[in-house]
């Protein structure tokens, strides 16, 4: 029987010290876990940072990742964020070759996806889009018709919905 491999999102609260991100990433590498997306941000507490990691694995792999990450000295909490209970967002910046012949078409697509044109020149435009990973993927699928000059995606940031607050274990 084969286990189903799925994208998994982990929210890891860690002490805000230099080298913590390297230790977390190293742990994933040493255990052979791939990181599809990684973001790090401040929290409301300046002593704590939030690392959001998207990885792929079945239930057993996920449990192992959570246990191993939780054992790191700097880790305060590790939470598996599920699609139905969480909100996921990414930011996309994409520079598109857009002379006067294609500009209107690109603007129409941007309007549908609620993307913002944040820079415009005679030969190109830079578009900003924030949304779920599937929304970003859909927008980029539409942009395949045009020449992409440069692109940057932030990776997933996420929080649990509602009044759920993931407690921080004391050190």
pLDDT at 5: 64
What whole-number distance in Å separates Cα of residue 138 and Cα of residue 63?
A: 31
The bridge status of strand 35-42 relative to strand 116-120 is unpaired
Low-confidence ranges of the chain (pLDDT < 70): 1-5, 164-171
Judgement on whether residues 108 and 49 belong to the same structural domain of the protein: no
pLDDT at 169: 41
Last residue of a domain, one of 30, 51, 81: 81
- pLDDT tens, position by position, 69-105: 999 999 999 999 998 989 999 999 999 999 999 999 9
Judgement on whether residues 70 and 115 belong to the same structural domain of the protein: no
- Domain of residue 69, CATH code: 3.30.70.260
Judgement on whether residues 72 and 106 belong to the same structural domain of the protein: no
Ordered DSSP codes for 93-128: EEEEE--TTTHHHHHHHHHHHT-EEEEE-SSEEEEE
Instruction: Give the global pTM.
Output: 0.82
pLDDT at 29: 84
Q: Is 161 a domain residue? A: no
Q: Is 169 a domain residue? A: no
What's the total number of domains in the chain? 2
Q: Is 43 a domain residue? A: yes
Judgement on whether residues 95 and 36 belong to the same structural domain of the protein: no
pLDDT at 2: 44
pLDDT at 89: 96
- Domain of residue 105, CATH code: 3.30.70.1150
Judgement on whether residues 60 and 100 belong to the same structural domain of the protein: no
Q: At 167, phi and psi to the nearest 5?
A: -60, 155
Q: Supply the range of the domain harboring residue 26.
A: 6-81
What whole-number distance in Å separates Cα of residue 78 and Cα of residue 92?
A: 26
Q: Is 164 a domain residue? A: no
């Amino acid at each position: 029987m084969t286990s189903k491999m799925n994208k998994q999102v982990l929210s890891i609260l860690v002490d805000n010290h230099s080298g913590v991100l390297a230790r977390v990433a190293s742990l994933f590498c040493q255990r052979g876990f791939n990181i599809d997306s990684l973001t790090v941000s401040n929290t409301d507490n300046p002593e704590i940072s939030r690392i959001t990691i998207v990885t792929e694995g079945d239930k057993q792999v996920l449990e192992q990742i959570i246990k191993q990450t939780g054992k790191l000295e700097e880790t305060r909490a590790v939470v598996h964020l599920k699609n139905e209970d969480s909100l996921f967002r990414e930011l996309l910046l994409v520079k598109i070759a857009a002379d006067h012949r294609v500009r209107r078409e690109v603007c129409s697509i941007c309007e549908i996806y609620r993307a913002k044109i944040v820079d415009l020149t005679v030969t190109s435009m830079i578009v900003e889009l924030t949304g779920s990973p599937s929304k970003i993927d859909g927008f980029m699928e539409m942009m395949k018709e045009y020449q992409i000059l440069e692109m940057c995606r932030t990776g997933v940031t996420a929080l649990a919905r509602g009044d759920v607050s993931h407690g921080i274990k004391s050190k």
